[in-house]
Amino acid sequence: MGVGNTGKGVSELVDEVRDRLSSPSSQELFALLIVLGIVVLALDLVRRLATGEMAFGRLWRYTWNGLVDSLYIALAAIGLSMTYSILRFANFSHGDLVTTGAFSGWAVAWLIGGWGVYGIGELVLFSPTAAGPTGGELGMNVLASPVAILVGLVAAALLTVAIALAIDRLVYRRMRNASGISLLIASVGVALALRYIIGVFWTVESHSATASAPILEEIPAWLPFERLNLHELTLVVTAVGLIVGLHLLLQYTKLGKAMRAMADNKDLALITGIPTERVIFATWTIGAGLAGVAGYLIVLDRGQFSINIGWFLLLLIFAAVILGGIGSIYGALVGSLVIGLTINVSLIWIPADLNEIAAFTLMILILIVKPDGLLGGVETA
Amino acid sequence: MSDPDPDGDPETDTAAVPDDEGPDDPEESSAMIRPEWRSDLLLVAKVVLATYVGFFVVGVLSGAGVNATVGTIQSITFFGAIFALGALALNLHWGYTGMFNIGIAGFMAIGAYTLSIAVASPDGSPAGFGLPIPVGIVLGTIAAGLAGLVLVIPTLRVRADYFAIVTLGFSEIVRLSVQSRSLRQIGDTAYGTGGGQGIRATPVDSVVGWLFDQPIVGDVGGVLIVLGETVGIASSVLERGIYTLVLILFVVAFYVLLTRIAHSPFGRVLKAIREDELAAKSLGKRTDRAKIAAFALGCALMGLVGTLWMGSRTHISPDNFMPLITFYVFVALIVGGAGSNTGSVIGGFAFAAFIFEGPRFVRTMVRANLGTDFPRTAHGAFAELGAGDPSALIGYVLYQQADEVRYIVLGVVLIVLMIKRPDGLLGHRKEISAGVDLSRRGPVADGGRPAVGSDDRAGTEGETDDPAATNGGDRDE
């Protein structure tokens, strides 16, 4: 009997396995593919490191760049994730809030840096004529004019918030009960209008706003750096500070609780007396403020920018939000980390102009396999 | 049954759209709601005519000149045809099936690049295969359809907004791939995408030259060009116009194809999916299969549009396929109203006339009236405004920044439409998924004559109504 039983068990098992193998769902197939891919890449990485084909230093540099990239992606992704969970639509104009932050913040920084020496128009428009100053001549780095940079940072946040609130009032408030797709389409309209209104003033050409970044050569031995780019450091410190602050805000204030409640169930939140319009106000304030800061910091780090800076970032932000599970802010942080690392560490295997393809492919695969995101789709802040 | 035939025929003189469709019409229409060829055609003709007259009068009165005005009208028609084609293809995805595809640029890119690689000369850099253009167009269409197939099968069950992001991501993947240096020349072969520099090939509109070599068409064309030159229209405008006529033939073909699909059992399944996929599935419809087929077909059509549009340039590059052109097509469809083929055509035309070409036309008028001597920067414009010269600011915005103005108008139109008329201009025409007109049932049950439809049809409609209802019910798969 025992033998017969096992025989049956085995044949059942075989049948089941055959069943699974002969008709695996597309999700399972893709999940298998992704896991296989990651395993192969990890093994290859170990091989390269072991054979000395690739130095540890290079891997560390890619990882560090990935961390830096993931920080500004995270700043922008938080806002996108919040609007997704509270207003319930994919906001395609979020990238252009990043652009708004970059332009408004640096315009203010230039205004302060060159006040009295150059004309207001020349400063605000980043010297449209050849006669105007350059970022270097204005000393736009964190050591030479820390006040201008700091005020610019604050201005980037405030002005972006102001514009986001104005847009909400003009557009989204009239569509509070519209479907997600209608809001999505309207947000595309907002994105185009906002970007090209900026374009009318600043043209579509690329601008260079900063002086070259001061480099710190003397670094304590325990830090794994040979030299430290102070602009990069500013980005890291600001971003980490804001993310920690946001965490405290969400976890320990009544506003945070209200936001989480509203993300969970809007009707229930209304019934319990949560002032939804005030929560929406807070959502735009936090989300747009962080997006504006992100735009400002990206320019600080890179120097060059144009009106497409936010649009080109948008899909990466979406990828991060999706990876983390749409609506989850901590998920967005994890997703940003994955995306930031992906676009940099993937350079080990693929040429630099294909790295975003890797990130977008990862995004599509995650959407297919695990549409709830890596953290299981807790749609709460 | 004899009535619809004369119904279709008198239209032939208004435009060429339905006359080849006339014979197919009756047997199709008896079983379901008839496509309203007559009134639709009249509507399209009215809109087009009114736009032409409007642009012509404004153009000539404003002193832009006959050639420039006719040139504008020609490019309105060209882009109107292109966007009508795009909107018709998108209508199959979004209007009928409810699949929110914002990766149109990617499918156009696949079509156009396949065409260029197939057609480009084998000696060029990057080299092509030197195939004839029609073969290239077919290959491009098939390639885009296959890409759609590959994309849609795993993403069938993804939520609508996720699907939007997937398709946008896909179109960016396509664009970044063709832009990539590593695919400029694949491996050791000479073939490739040309990277950021793009690829050079014989343009599709060389068909015009071929047409001129044909016996009758060529003579007519030659006469047209001579006539044009006497009124002051450049021959290049006319040649471009002849290519536009070819495009209009494609619009007619797309329209007929999609209308036939929409009124077939397959089309009703698509509409049922749009309304309620679960219900359609519960009724035993193979919704997955229908969605895959509809998506692949729509993508193939988008690829075809890509070959006809971008293929008409001697040179294509990745910058031609920015996600922006996806939104051109989307606005065209939304203006017309998703779910209506006639709306798609009108929307494509209206978009091309007022949003796409409008700002350029204003630019032409500004140049004719105020010259071209405008400040190049906002700084200069405001400085001159401060000095008491407002024309500098006007010139700066409308002349120097005409493209930006176009995008702003595009965005604002999108927002206003979404707030005020989310269904578009002809959105009320959205076809329902039922095989019979549900709205007609009330009056018939009363024993009265159907209250809707044009008067001359009322007699036949009443007779064919009941068998139609039963036929339609049985025939549905």
Closest residue, chain A, to B159 (C-alpha) = A371
Phi and psi (nearest 5°) for B187?
60, -135
CA nearest neighbour of B158 among B98, B89, B110: B98
Write the DSSP symbol of residue A346. Answer: G
- Across the interface, do A353 and B182 touch by the CB < 8 Å criterion? yes
Q: Which residues pair with B395 in a beta bridge?
A: none
Please report which confidence band the pLDDT of residue B434 belongs to, taking 50, 70 and 90 as the band edges. Answer: low
- Residue B186 is predicted with a pLDDT of 67
**Residue B1: alpha-carbon gap to chain centroid:** 33
Domain count, chain A: 1
- Distance, in Å, from the CA atom of B437 to the CA atom of B49, rounded to the nearest integer, reads 31
In a domain, A117, yes or no: yes
- Residue A146 is predicted with a pLDDT of 87
- Residue A331 is predicted with a pLDDT of 87
In a domain, A102, yes or no: yes
- Across the interface, do A315 and B172 touch by the CB < 8 Å criterion? yes
Task: Extract the tokens encoding B164.
Answer: 């939007």
- Distance, in Å, from the CA atom of A251 to the CA atom of A260, rounded to the nearest integer, reads 9
Taking every pair of Cα atoms in chain A, the longest distance, rounded to a whole number of angstroms, is 98
A190 near B CB under 8 A = yes
In a domain, A16, yes or no: no
- Across the interface, do A356 and B172 touch by the CB < 8 Å criterion? yes
At B47-89, the pLDDT tens digits run 899 999 998 888 888 877 788 888 888 889 999 999 999 999 9
Residues near A98 by Cβ (< 8 Å), separated by ≥ 6?
Answer: A76, A291, A292, A294, A295, A298, A309, A310, A313
Closest residue, chain A, to B378 (C-alpha) = A201
| Torsion over CA: B152, B157, B158, B160 (sign) | positive
- The interface residues of chain A toward chain B in range 282-341, judged by CB-CB distance below 8 A, are 315, 318-319, 322
Residue among A34, A316, A353, A356 with most chain B CBs within 10 A, to mutate: A353
- Distance, in Å, from the CA atom of B466 to the CA atom of B30, rounded to the nearest integer, reads 10
Q: Map tokens 């890179």 to a residue.
A: A302
- Distance, in Å, from the CA atom of B210 to the CA atom of B77, rounded to the nearest integer, reads 21
At B323-337, the pLDDT tens digits run 889 999 998 998 888
- Residue B352 is predicted with a pLDDT of 92
- Across the interface, do B177 and A357 touch by the CB < 8 Å criterion? yes
Q: Distances in Å between the alpha carbon of B382 and those of B376, B389, B405? A: 11, 9, 17
- Distance, in Å, from the CA atom of A150 to the CA atom of A148, rounded to the nearest integer, reads 6
Alpha helix locations (H) across A171-275?
A: 180-202, 230-252, 254-264, 266-271
In a domain, A15, yes or no: no
- Distance, in Å, from the CA atom of B209 to the CA atom of A179, rounded to the nearest integer, reads 50
Residues near B346 by Cβ (< 8 Å), separated by ≥ 6?
Answer: B43, B44, B47, B335, B336, B425, B426
- The interface residues of chain A toward chain B in range 131-170, judged by CB-CB distance below 8 A, are none
Q: Which of B100, B169, B415 sits opposite A363 (nearest CB)?
A: B169
A381 near B CB under 8 A = no
- Across the interface, do B419 and A197 touch by the CB < 8 Å criterion? no
Residues in chain A: 381
Range of the domain at A148: 72-325
Q: Map tokens 């018709």 to a residue.
A: B88
Whether B451 shows a pLDDT value over 70: the answer reads no
Closest residue, chain B, to A201 (C-alpha) = B378
Q: Which of A89, A182, A367 sits opposite B162 (nearest CB)?
A: A367
Within 13 Å of residue B327, how many CA atoms lie on the same side as its CB? 26
Reduced to 3 states (helix: H, G, I; strand: E, B; else coil), residue A305 is strand
- Residue B18 is predicted with a pLDDT of 41
Q: How far is B468 from chain A (nearest CA, A)?
A: 36
Please report which confidence band the pLDDT of residue B169 belongs to, taking 50, 70 and 90 as the band edges. Answer: very high
Q: Which residues pair with A228 in a beta bridge?
A: A216
Residues near B401 by Cβ (< 8 Å), separated by ≥ 6?
Answer: A199, A200, A203
- Residue A100 is predicted with a pLDDT of 95
Summary count for chain A: helices (H), strands (E): 14, 4
Instruction: Quote ipTM for the complex.
Output: 0.84
At A354-371, the pLDDT tens digits run 888 888 888 888 888 877
Q: How far is A40 from chain B (nearest CA, A)?
A: 22
- Residue A23 is predicted with a pLDDT of 61
The percent of residues in chain B predicted with pLDDT above 90, rounded, is: 26
Q: Distances in Å between the alpha carbon of B266 and those of B227, B294, B431, B439? A: 48, 9, 14, 22
- Residue B438 is predicted with a pLDDT of 57
Q: How many A/B residue pairs have CB atoms within 8 Å?
A: 156
Q: How far is B38 from chain A (nearest CA, A)?
A: 32
| Residues of B in Cβ contact (< 8 Å) with A185 | 330, 334, 414, 418
Q: How far is A28 from chain B (nearest CA, A)?
A: 11
Domain made up of B63-356+401-435: CATH architecture? Orthogonal Bundle (1.10)
Alpha helix locations (H) across B390-457?
A: 390-395, 402-420, 441-445
Q: Which of A90, A185, A357 sits opposite B176 (nearest CB)?
A: A357
Q: How far is B415 from chain A (nearest CA, A)?
A: 5
A120 near B CB under 8 A = no
| Residues of A in Cβ contact (< 8 Å) with B378 | 121, 125, 128, 200-203
- B232 burial type by CB count under 10 A (0-12 exposed, 13-18 middle, 19+ buried): exposed
A353 near B CB under 8 A = yes
CA nearest neighbour of B94 among A184, A10, A268: A184
CA nearest neighbour of A68 among A289, A305, A304, A232: A232
A122 near B CB under 8 A = yes
Asked if B92 and B329 count as a contact pair (C-beta separation under 8 A), the reply is: no
- Distance, in Å, from the CA atom of A109 to the CA atom of A113, rounded to the nearest integer, reads 6
- Residue B427 is predicted with a pLDDT of 63
Asked if B346 and B124 count as a contact pair (C-beta separation under 8 A), the reply is: no
Write the DSSP symbol of residue A216. Answer: E
At B194-211, the pLDDT tens digits run 777 888 888 888 888 788
Within 13 Å of residue B45, how many CA atoms lie on the same side as its CB? 14
Q: Which residues of chain A have pLDDT under 50?
A: 1-5, 380-381
What mean pLDDT comes out for the span B112-120? 90
**Apex A313 CA angle, A310 and A316, nearest 5:** 155
Closest residue, chain A, to B181 (C-alpha) = A353
DSSP H or E segment with residue A208: strand A207-208
CA nearest neighbour of B389 among B374, B404, B369: B374
In a domain, A93, yes or no: yes
Q: How far is A193 from chain B (nearest CA, A)?
A: 4
Residue among A96, A120, A360 with most chain B CBs within 10 A, to mutate: A360
Residue among B93, B161, B171 with most chain A CBs within 10 A, to mutate: B161
- Distance, in Å, from the CA atom of B338 to the CA atom of B281, rounded to the nearest integer, reads 23
Asked if B41 and B18 count as a contact pair (C-beta separation under 8 A), the reply is: yes
Q: Which of B180, B377, B411 sits opposite A128 (nearest CB)?
A: B377
CA nearest neighbour of A218 among A229, A209, A226, A210: A226
Residues near A204 by Cβ (< 8 Å), separated by ≥ 6?
Answer: A306, A307, A308, B404
- Across the interface, do A190 and B415 touch by the CB < 8 Å criterion? yes
| Residues of B in Cβ contact (< 8 Å) with A353 | 176, 179-182
Q: How far is A22 from chain B (nearest CA, A)?
A: 17
A361 near B CB under 8 A = yes
Please report which confidence band the pLDDT of residue B14 belongs to, taking 50, 70 and 90 as the band edges. Answer: very low
Q: Which residues pair with A33 in a beta bridge?
A: none
